[in-house]
């Protein structure tokens, strides 16, 4: 399990906007702010924030490999890109 400090490190290192993280984690932006301030949240919300931060960081690293930088300000659009990337990745793993 990823720790809060590791998640906060990803948020900081990749400059992930709280609003974008909230969209991808499917939580309200105040939840993300409270998480970043060290307040306790329901475990399911914390898990979604952790997982969204990991997905965003992994996607950023993936597209940087091609010389691109994703727009992190549009959470809905980024969610679509990450979803398509993960689907393609899982299909490639199945097809080998």
With a cut of 80, say whether residue 70 has pLDDT above it: yes
Report the alpha-carbon distance of residue 46 to residue 40 in Å, rounded. Answer: 8
Distance of CA 38 to the CA centre of its chain: 18
Q: Are 35 and 49 in contact (CB under 8 A)?
A: yes
Number of neighbours of residue 43 by Cβ within 10 angstroms: 8
User: What's the CA gap between 54 and 84, in Å, rounded?
Assistant: 16
Higher pLDDT, 56 or 86: 56
- Mean pLDDT score, 26-55: 97
Which residues are within 8 A (CB) of 34 and not within 5 positions of it... i.e. 6 or more apart? 41
Give the pLDDT of residue 96. 57
Name the pTM for this structure.
Answer: 0.90
Q: For residue 93, name the pLDDT band (cuts at 50, 70, 90).
A: low
Q: Residue 2: what pLDDT?
A: 77
Instruction: Select the more confidently predicted residue: 90 or 26.
Output: 26
| Phi, then psi, of 91 in degrees rounded to 5 | -65, -40
């Amino acid at each position: 399990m990823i720790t809060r400090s590791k998640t906060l490190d990803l948020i900081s290192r990749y400059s992930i906007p709280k609003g974008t993280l909230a969209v991808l984690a499917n939580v309200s932006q105040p939840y993300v702010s409270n998480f970043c301030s060290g307040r306790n949240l329901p475990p399911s919300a914390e898990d979604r924030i952790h997982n969204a931060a990991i997905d965003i960081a992994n996607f950023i690293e993936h597209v940087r490999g091609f010389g691109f930088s994703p727009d992190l300000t549009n959470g809905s659009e980024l969610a679509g890109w990450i979803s398509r990337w993960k689907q393609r990745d899982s299909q490639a793993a199945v097809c080998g």
